[in-house]
Amino acid sequence: MHIASRIIQATPVAPGIAIGRVKLLHGSGFGNVPVTSIDASRVDSELIRFREALELTRKQIQDLRERLKAGLNEHEAGIFDAHLLLVEDRTMVAEIEHNISASLYGAEYAVHLAVEKFSAAFAAVPDEYLQERALDVRDVGARIISNLSEKVPAAPEYDEPRIVVASTLTPSETVAMPRERVLAFAVETGSATSHTAILARSLRIPAVVGMPREILESLTVADRLIVDGFSGKVIVNPDNATLDAYRLKSREAQKIYRQLSAENALKPMTTDGFVVELVANVDADDDYAAVRRAGAMGIGLFRTEFIFMNPGRLPDENEQFEIYKRLLISAGNDLVTIRTLDIGGDKLSSGILRSEERNPFLGLRGIRLCLRERRDIFVTQLRALLRAGVHGNLQIMIPMVSCMDEVLETKAIIADIQKSLTEENIPFAANLPLGVMIETPAAAMIAGALARQSAFFSIGTNDLIQYTLATDRSNERVGHLYRPGHPAVLRMIRETVRAARKNNIPVTVCGQTAEDMTMTPLLIGLGVNELSMSVGAMPLVRRTIRQLAMRECAALAERALECESSEQVLGLSREIIRRCVPELADM
């Protein structure tokens, strides 16, 4: 029996509209594993069995990676680098082997125990991106266990193209699906930064997360869904009029996307000749081909914390040097902005931070942690960056700055490192530009002074909004107060831009607002001259910029600064979007 027609508001993570029947996926293949123990005489053969399964797992992941590289692009393939790193992770392998040789568990249960331990460590971190890594660990674990029992999980059967509905979806499951048979993803867990969302966006498969569990449990293969990846709406068993309306909307959206992607080589220039540079946010070290295809002019934000996500093992100087060098070489002459480690507080609680904090968002985070508690990590990272700098066009930026001392101290450390590298006869780039992220109201308010010590500014609106509005960005209970268009936020941006202009340094926005087209007229109207965003969002923002007039955006910004609320601000901005970019206004 079909469940009654109803509309669910989920969270959109990949744009597009899909209409079709349900394909239910259950679990991630990592269910209960029975406890098995072995006799001490079997330890050696059990270790061999485990190592063979591990090797097979490595090969399978490499194959998947190569397949993706051939068919898609480097970025998606890069997701499996994280899986390869896990297979090669000495701490995890040692833990599994210990479970076999010391605790005398059978290999399957030994893997299960280690995976539970490592994934729990990731899941406990109150940072969405790192929490998603728990899923990677489980995904790799499931694969090893399947290989141990010589039973590789089969790709689910698809009789017709369907909407995949699942509680969680791992990257392996996502790419193992026959692409032409998947209309959309509607998933319970995950976020816009989850790997599945990243994959969905690049495969151009609409996706939503946050599907209520009771709906997932009540759906059957006979139910029909509409998934609207623009608004996040999911309509269960729609009536005919709704179906017709969405079919039309879907056809139009597809047409627009085809046109938008054909514009990647066009200059992001307003109708009155103002060029807004578009650069990319990247989290993996090997996806420059995708960046270039999207028409980006470089990398505006490389978040290095993802290099540090292996529990129990920090990347050493050479490892980091190789990663940065590879990225710089692949980017050629394009400018690459690498951010120094931004963890601490909310982003990672164990391994790097030495103690728990009661108020971590206001605690030892980003540059604070690097300068005080973990200067060792900071020096290693800066040495690797300075050395890699000879291989391309690199600039470094520091996160979470709240006072001038932090910039001066960083410069002093860099000067010391340069001295040591010279003494050690190791080549390095001598004059790498050092930029400051404007993420705290304090930094925005002293932007004038900071600008005299900075080669550039990059406004991290994700944090600037949370600190300006005193609204925890990860707490959904105050989500209604997290408002990018708030006049207070706009004033922070204006102060920053003014200071940058006066001191002749460029200013970029690299937070999520850079890819929100409703914010585009406001940001460029305030004088921001570069936007850094995920490559998937770039075509939409490029088209928006190309149909706006700078004159009008500047007037909008002036009016917006005088508004009393973010509703008023966004109302004014939407008016311009509806008039200048009507074809995208509903996206």
Given a contact cutoff of 8 angstroms between Cβ atoms, the answer to whether 16 and 208 are in contact is no
Q: Which of ligand PEP, Mg ion, none is residue 303 near (CB under 5 to 8 Å by kind)?
A: ligand PEP
Q: Which of 370, 486, 510, 580 is catalytic?
A: 510
Given a contact cutoff of 8 angstroms between Cβ atoms, the answer to whether 97 and 47 are in contact is yes
Given a contact cutoff of 8 angstroms between Cβ atoms, the answer to whether 298 and 334 are in contact is yes
Instruction: Tell me whether residue 172 or residue 349 sits nearer to Mg ion (CB atom).
Output: 349
What's the closest the beta carbon of residue 380 comes to Mg ion, in angstroms?
A: 22
Instruction: Tell me whether residue 343 or residue 577 sits nearer to ligand PEP (CB atom).
Output: 343
Smallest CA-to-CA distance from 336 within 309, 389, 305, 299 is with 299
From candidates 97, 277, 342, 495, binder to ligand PEP by CB under 6 A? 342
Residue 462 binding ligand PEP, by CB under 6 A: yes
Q: Which of ligand PEP, Mg ion, none is residue 495 near (CB under 5 to 8 Å by kind)?
A: none
What's the closest the beta carbon of residue 460 comes to Mg ion, in angstroms?
A: 4
What's the closest the beta carbon of residue 447 comes to ligand PEP, in angstroms?
A: 16
Task: Retrieve residue 333's tokens.
Answer: 């002459």
Smallest CA-to-CA distance from 137 within 39, 240, 57 is with 57
- Order the strands of the 224-228 sheet from edge to edge: 6-9, 233-236, 224-228, 17-25, 162-166, 182-187, 207-209, 11-14
Instruction: Tell me whether residue 223 or residue 342 sits nearer to ligand PEP (CB atom).
Output: 342
Q: Which residues pair with 93 in a beta bridge?
A: none
CA distance 87 to 64: 14
Q: Is 403 a catalytic residue?
A: no
Q: Which of ligand PEP, Mg ion, none is residue 73 near (CB under 5 to 8 Å by kind)?
A: none
Site for Mg ion in 415-474 (CB under 5 A): 439, 460, 463
CA distance 85 to 172: 15
Residue 303 binding ligand PEP, by CB under 6 A: yes
What's the closest the beta carbon of residue 363 comes to ligand PEP, in angstroms?
A: 14
Binding residues for ligand PEP, total number by CB under 6 A = 10
Instruction: Tell me whether residue 310 or residue 461 sits nearer to ligand PEP (CB atom).
Output: 461
What's the closest the beta carbon of residue 518 comes to ligand PEP, in angstroms?
A: 17
Give me the residue label for tokens 């623009």. Answer: 230
The DSSP letter of residue 414 is: H
Q: Is 510 a catalytic residue?
A: yes
Calculate the alpha carbon distances from 380 to 137, 283, 416 in Å. 27, 20, 12
Instruction: Tell me whether residue 64 or residue 528 sits nearer to Mg ion (CB atom).
Output: 528
Stretch that binds ligand PEP, among 168-176, 230-238, 459-467, 568-576 (CB under 6 A): 459-467
Smallest CA-to-CA distance from 389 within 454, 467, 473, 321 is with 321
What's the closest the beta carbon of residue 327 comes to ligand PEP, in angstroms?
A: 17
Q: Which of ligand PEP, Mg ion, none is residue 516 near (CB under 5 to 8 Å by kind)?
A: none
What's the closest the beta carbon of residue 513 comes to ligand PEP, in angstroms?
A: 8
Instruction: Tell me whether residue 108 or residue 439 sits nearer to Mg ion (CB atom).
Output: 439
From candidates 29, 392, 441, 511, binder to ligand PEP by CB under 6 A? 511
Q: At what angle do helices 74-87 and 195-203 cross, to 10 degrees?
A: 150
Give me the residue label for tokens 């002459």. Answer: 333
Smallest CA-to-CA distance from 84 within 97, 69, 70, 65 is with 65
How far from each other are the two terminal CA atoms of the chain, in whole angstroms? 34
In three-state secondary structure terms, 511 is coil
Site for ligand PEP in 429-458 (CB under 6 A): 439
From candidates 29, 389, 460, 536, binder to ligand PEP by CB under 6 A? 460
Instruction: Tell me whether residue 231 or residue 462 sits nearer to ligand PEP (CB atom).
Output: 462
Residue 136 binding Mg ion, by CB under 5 A: no
Q: Could you give the string, one character per residue 170-199, with x where binding to ligand PEP holds by CB under 6 A and - elsewhere?
A: ------------------------------
What's the closest the beta carbon of residue 184 comes to ligand PEP, in angstroms?
A: 27
Q: Which of ligand PEP, Mg ion, none is residue 510 near (CB under 5 to 8 Å by kind)?
A: ligand PEP
CA distance 169 to 173: 6
Q: Which of Mg ion, ligand PEP, none is residue 298 near (CB under 5 to 8 Å by kind)?
A: none
Give me the residue label for tokens 């946050």. Answer: 210
Q: 152: Cβ–Cβ under 8 A, 6 or more apart, which residues?
A: 60, 146
Smallest CA-to-CA distance from 369 within 338, 346, 392 is with 346
Instruction: Tell me whether residue 264 or residue 518 sits nearer to ligand PEP (CB atom).
Output: 518
* 3-state SS track over 519-544: CHHHHHHCCCCEEEECHHHHHHHHHH
Residue 461 binding ligand PEP, by CB under 6 A: yes
What's the closest the beta carbon of residue 458 comes to ligand PEP, in angstroms?
A: 8
Q: Which of Mg ion, ligand PEP, none is residue 141 near (CB under 5 to 8 Å by kind)?
A: none
Q: Which of 195, 370, 486, 580 is catalytic?
A: 195
Amino acid of residue 502 = K
Stretch that binds ligand PEP, among 77-85, 217-225, 263-271, 460-468 (CB under 6 A): 460-468
The DSSP letter of residue 285 is: T
**CB-facing half-sphere around the CA of 362: CA atoms within 13 A:** 9
Residue 510 binding ligand PEP, by CB under 6 A: yes
Phi, psi dihedrals of residue 185, rounded to the nearest 5°: -115, 135
Given a contact cutoff of 8 angstroms between Cβ atoms, the answer to whether 454 and 433 are in contact is no
Residue 283 binding ligand PEP, by CB under 6 A: no
* DSSP H helix total and E strand total for the chain: 22, 16
Instruction: Tell me whether residue 106 or residue 190 sits nearer to ligand PEP (CB atom).
Output: 190
Instruction: Tell me whether residue 192 or residue 561 sits nearer to ligand PEP (CB atom).
Output: 192
CA distance 195 to 130: 11
From candidates 463, 495, 515, 530, binder to ligand PEP by CB under 6 A? 463
Using CB under 6 A, list all residues that contact ligand PEP. 301, 303, 342, 439, 460-463, 510-511
Residues tagged active-site? 195, 510
Using CB under 5 A, list all residues that contact Mg ion. 439, 460, 463
